[in-house]
Structure 1
């Protein structure tokens, strides 16, 4: 299902997405008509719209379009809000300053998800603090990981430090508690909520330190907290009870109504 500015969208209106892929988005999981971290998702859209288009986004309009698209849909599903300018000229992107709002809905995966097998891949996203539409590098890295027998890629920098996953943040459990990588990564909404819930530190993490952690987990709005079963050839304790505690604490968050 897809609606552009609250109306059914046809293929012509989506040409700009296919031909230029310039814009930004957020994806939020809806469970029983509630969204965890809704305020953070909206703040991200507003912040990224200023960066990408130099424009102020009407957040009341965003919520209206999301509610319209969701209708009376029950259960769990994922809503993606994509902000882009259909009139963008690839030769003059500086003129793209009138973004529209595309709302799409897809099914949500059932919890809990199977542990994730991650392969380290050297890659750093462009403008990493923005959740933008430039997914080629991330998907190419994911494809490479899958062709090598893994589920997804875990990005590392030129300095050999761990950053983030293909479309997720990563956290590590050590004897000292939860460690989030200090790196240029997307400030994930789910990561921010988990940081509110549990004591943690933020520090540089080398690949060797990541592989030597007692446990590791991937996190985003769609998957919540998902254990990693390995990083490259290093096995991780995906059954660590602290992962269950963290996952259940996150799932217990009441969320906000759309």
Structure 2
């Protein structure tokens, strides 16, 4: 349940309920706030600005985004910033309890599916949520989306990454470039390759990442994967800097 909400930098009221409903047709970014800081603030602002321009053909006022974040920043939280157009552009920022990435190895189930406008973090998440529920009933923690030829793209709410020595490898396929993915790529040697499930067993570690952090992948479908080198991925994530919100 949402704990706090801010619209255009001010506390939300009951009159703003329509914006919450409209947000399902908008776009957003998600982050963890700790001590008034977030990781990758510049990347979050770029994501919101680019999607706003692409979807609505309008510029986004970064000051409104920052004011909304600062209104929530005194508390540690899991925050989503939505950009909604209902005649005019509005920024809706909502805060829930803080979340940390699961430490236990994740078990992934492959599902043939491709997100619409995969490079945009938009509100049309029902298909992924439905697929994730089905996977959970089958004993899996997350789904791994693939194309008809088995090429991996992304998880329902995560990016999949692999550690190859000192280099990070991401799938070469249409996907959402997650903020944690971009931050790790900024800090480490990396490349993109076409990946299929049998390829994963040849890496030192396989992991998933999103705004929560990084988690090891222990298995994909029936393929068990090594996890010993995941500590290197975790150390790289922990070293990522935090940006003050002001």
TM value normalised by structure 1: 0.86
1:52 matched to 2:55: yes
The Cα shift of 1:141 comes to: 1.3
> Cα RMSD between the aligned structures?
2.0
Match of 1:28 in 2: 31
1:227 aligned residue (188, 213, 216): 216
Within a 5 Å distance, the mapping from 1:1-258 to structure 2 comes to 1-10=4-13, 13-15=16-18, 17-18=20-21, 21-70=24-73, 72-73=74-75, 76-87=76-87, 98-110=88-100, 113-174=103-164, 177-222=167-212, 224-238=213-227, 240-241=228-229, 243-258=230-245
In 2 relative to 1, CA 172–136 (structure 1 residues): closer, same or farther, beyond 3 Å?
same
CA distance 1:160–1:197, shift in 2 (3 Å): same
Is residue 194–residue 250 contact of structure 1 (8 Å, CA) maintained in 2? yes
Q: Report how far residue 227 of structure 1 moved.
A: 0.6
Partner-residue secondary structure (3-state), 1:21: helix
**Distance (Å, rounded) in 1 between the aligned partners of 2:68 and 2:235:** 30
CA, structure 1 residues 120+18, in 2 after alignment: closer, same or farther (shift >3 Å)? same
Does the Cα contact within 8 Å between 1:161 and 1:205 map onto a contact in 2?
yes
Runs (5+) with no aligned partner, structure 2: none
Cα distance in structure 1, aligned partners of 2:239 and 2:44: 18
TM-aligned CA deviation for residue 20 of structure 1: 7.8
User: SS where residue 83 of structure 1 aligns?
Assistant: strand
Q: 1:62 to 1:212 in 2, by over 3 A?
A: same
Q: Deviations over 1:142-197 (max 9, x none)?
A: 11111111011110012210000011110123468432100000011111111122
- Bigger drift between 150-159 and 13-22 goes to 13-22
Encode CA deviations 1:202-229: one digit per residue, 9 max, x unaligned: 110012213554421001122x221111
Task: Describe the shift of the 1:256–1:69 C-alpha distance in structure 2 as closer, same or farther (beyond 3 A).
Answer: same
In structure 1, how many angstroms separate the alpha carbons of the residues matched to 2:190 and 2:56?
Answer: 34
Contact 2:167 2:188 in 1 (8 A): no
2:23–2:82 CA contact under 8 A, matched in 1: no
Structure 2 CA distance for partners of 1:107 and 1:190, relative to 1, 3 Å: same
Query: 1:91 is matched with which residue?
Result: none
